[in-house]
Amino acid sequence: MLKLSCNVTNHLHTFSFFSDSSLFIPVNRRTIAVSSSQLRKPALDPLRAVISADQGSITPVNSCTPADRFRAGRLMEDGYSYKEKFIVRSYEVGINKTATVETIANLLQEVACNHVQKCGFSTDGFATTLTMRKLHLIWVTARMHIEIYKYPAWSDVVEIETWCQSEGRIGTRRDWILRDSATNEVIGRATSKWVMMNQDTRRLQRVTDEVRDEYLVFCPREPRLAFPEENNSSLKKIPKLEDPAQYSMLELKPRRADLDMNQHVNNVTYIGWVLESIPQEIIDTHELQVITLDYRRECQQDDIVDSLTTSEIPDDPISKLTGTNGSATSSIQGHSESQFLHMLRLSEDGQEINRGRTQWRKKSSR
């Protein structure tokens, strides 16, 4: 591993290689010059490195680890986005013989974590920087929006590209584009917003300049959006679902396996809970096209959760149905699209955990 002695303290700093003879590295608001000829090394892709304050050394980000030998992922030439290919496994498909939306969401999370790990961030938390670890800060999801145009089937290979960027002063955003690896067809897009939380107090915290400086070097200089269209559905606000809900699945309990490394219920688990109260006839005749979730409070292992669903389209035939625990009472055959509002709340006191919106399209014959 290539190392260069460097006096750095308390920070994780990054730099990019350029064609000129030297490069300048910010260190505690100072600048030092390093000869790029001393740091050139074959297979350094995409010519990025990390200065570790812990070891006082420069380490190429793409130094090969055991995991890297098996991952089909790489940083792109600009150093700002990351692509990885995944094979859809048999245990990742559902009743439609295609990947479930939970599978898609897990892959989005996996490629995001692999991206930040490739950039040199912590592997013992979700993209925590050195300053964040020192201050016991973590990233938590504030909003997730996923659109799926075509679900991959068992053994299909999906290529996912991801990148992150600043989102004002309160957090960051991360976007994804999903492609069929065989045809390069875009089969899905997603975007998300993340905010910072103190792991000890469980309170949200403003992103400091120190933390921003640590991760912004890996972000595109100009805004880059998975959903560049004006007034796209990822921007729509989600109204609160009011009682009484048309459909409900009550007293859902987190499993131990639902907890993530930040000691709360993983954001993908919320997707499954939301879908539990969808009417069965929708599940039988439609497939999920769009899901948007706003995360309003975290859920712990001992919490008990109610899942509520109501049709958002007033003249939707499904709005005329009544039922509980996902049951339907009349036929909706022939209806091509449906849209629902959702809420997850604590069973004990009704506090809102999550609100969401889903759009469903009629299943195509396969």
Show which residues are catalytic.
Answer: 262, 264, 299
Range list of β-strands (E), 120-260: 137-148, 157-167, 171-180, 186-198, 204-205, 247-252
Q: 141 in helix, strand or coil?
A: strand
Contact 104/188 with Cβ under 8 angstroms?
yes
Beta-bridged to residue 188, according to DSSP, are 148, 178
- C-beta neighbour count of 42 within 10 angstroms: 5
Closest CA to 90 of 82, 80, 98, 101: 98
Residue 351, amino acid = Q
- Compute the CA torsion angle 114, 109, 209, 133 (nearest 10 deg): -70
Pairwise CA distance, residues 282 & 274, whole Å: 14
- Compute the CA torsion angle 289, 294, 298, 300 (nearest 10 deg): -30
Pairwise CA distance, residues 52 & 54, whole Å: 5
The rounded Cα 143 to chain-centroid distance in angstroms is: 9
CA within 13 Å, CB half, 280: 9
- C-beta neighbour count of 27 within 10 angstroms: 17
